[in-house]
Amino acid sequence: MMGRQRACLAEALYTGYGRLREGAVALDAVEAAICLLEASGLFNAGIGARLQLDGSRRMDASLMEGRGLGAGAVAGIKSVRHPISAARLVMERTEHVLLSGPPATRLALHFQLARQASPTPAQRKALQTDIRKIGPQASAAGTLRLFNTLARRRKAGLETVGAVALDRAGTVAAGASTGGVTLMLPGRVGDTPLIGCGCYADDEAGAVSMSGVGEGIIRLAMAKTIVDRMASGATPVAAGRWALGLLGSRIRGQAGALVLAPNGKFAIRHNTPYMIAGYWNGHGEPVVKDKYE
């Protein structure tokens, strides 16, 4: 699986940079790269999004551009193949920043975004098998106990997808897309659709896209925290290292960050055991690794 993920990330880098080479804005490159990852089924986003505890597939996404601080996001969207494109609709076709639940789904379908199939019977059966392994749960309190038990068994790698880009005009952009946490409680919202948490972009400071355990990322508003650190003069490497150190020391949180400065300098940082990610400047071959020091 990891080999297929690496190949997919390389293709996403080719796709995103290809848009920049054609003269597209950074936001177009970010959306194109994330759309490819959402369509791959290899990550916890788009058609690969995990099922929640009630058997539904709900997804979150956000994106932001740094010139005018335009931003859009969706939370708990269903039936849509590309939540990142739904987030862009919110940004460009409404006066809002974040739409959630059924209204977000209706907006996406109104603008005829591509649909994705409902969870298959096999996927629902596998979900029920996982639940039965824990034991019968009959009440709301039992459901909460079940969720907490499953949560302790999950690994840290949540496979949220994201991208950052810098275009010829000097504008930065960032985006992120996720299916949330496997078997999470319906109604839970993580960091991905929250501007300043899952992503942030400002031409005066830089762009950041986050991945990891959302509850910790939210508590420190990680994307904005890293961008603010760069605004104070820190390099992408230093800003990412400092913020992830703070996350680990204050709340024992785990995350990874794509960090890009307006001058093109960048860093990929994480305090998880690994983070499969890559970068490309248009020369040679894209670099894709599963661990960054």
Catalytic annotation, residues: 160
Q: Which three-class secondary structure state does DSSP give residue 84? A: helix
Rounded to whole angstroms, how far apart are CA atoms 164 and 33? Answer: 9
Q: Are 259 and 208 in contact (CB under 8 A)?
A: yes
**Helices (H), ranges, the chain:** 2-21, 26-40, 83-93, 101-110, 121-134, 140-153, 214-219, 222-231, 236-251
Identify residue 76 by its one-letter amino acid code.
G
Please check whether residue 163 is in contact with residue 198, taking contact to mean a CB–CB distance below 8 angstroms: no
The answer to whether 192 and 225 are in contact (CB under 8 A) is no
Helix, strand, coil distribution of the chain in percent, nearest 5:
40, 20, 40
CA distance 195 to 32: 20
Helix and strand numbers, DSSP H then E, in the chain = 9, 11
Tokens, residue 50:
């995990």
Contact criterion met (CB below 8 Å) for 9 and 288: yes
Q: How far apart are CA 95 and CA 87, in angstroms?
A: 12
